Amino acid sequence: MLINQFLLLGAALFSLGVYGVLTRKNAVLVLLSVELMLAAVNINLVAFDRYFVDTEAAGQVFALFVITVAAAEVGIGLAIVLLIFRVRKSANVDEFDLMKL
């Protein structure tokens, strides 16, 4: 197996995630797209782990960390979306424009 086949797959997945983050209106879907990007990162990490033959499996360990952080991110993200939904009655990111006020 080539290392690049995994890296390219990861790049494609990442780009799809980026596309999702850029185009989705619904905040939950934006979060989902971020998950895609993180998954792409994980693929790269594990692939590099195998490629560089790390005796300490650092790539895998960091993939685990990424997963953990992603879980934390989803928890907080959903809580924020829920809060905004409660306040603004909408999960539309276009309306999260407090930065402009």
- In the range 54-73, which residues lie near another protein by CB under 8 A? 55-58, 60-61, 63-65, 67-73
Q: Which of residues 6-65 bind another protein (CB under 8 A)?
A: 6-9, 11-26, 28-33, 35-36, 39, 42-43, 46-47, 49-51, 53, 55-58, 60-61, 63-65
Enter the DSSP assignment of 26: B
What DSSP letter does each residue of 36-90 carry, written as one string?
HHHHHHHHHHHHHHHHTT-TT-HHHHHHHHHHHHHHHHHHHHHHHHHHHHHHHS-
Give the number of residues in contact with another protein, rule: CB under 8 A: 79
Closest approach of another protein to the CB of residue 22, in Å: 4
Q: Does residue 88 bind another protein (CB under 8 A)?
A: no
Closest approach of another protein to the CB of residue 72, in Å: 3
d(C-alpha 78, C-alpha 30), whole Å: 11
Do 66 and 42 touch, CB atoms closer than 8 A?
yes
Amino acid at 29: L
Q: Does residue 81 bind another protein (CB under 8 A)?
A: yes
Closest approach of another protein to the CB of residue 89, in Å: 10
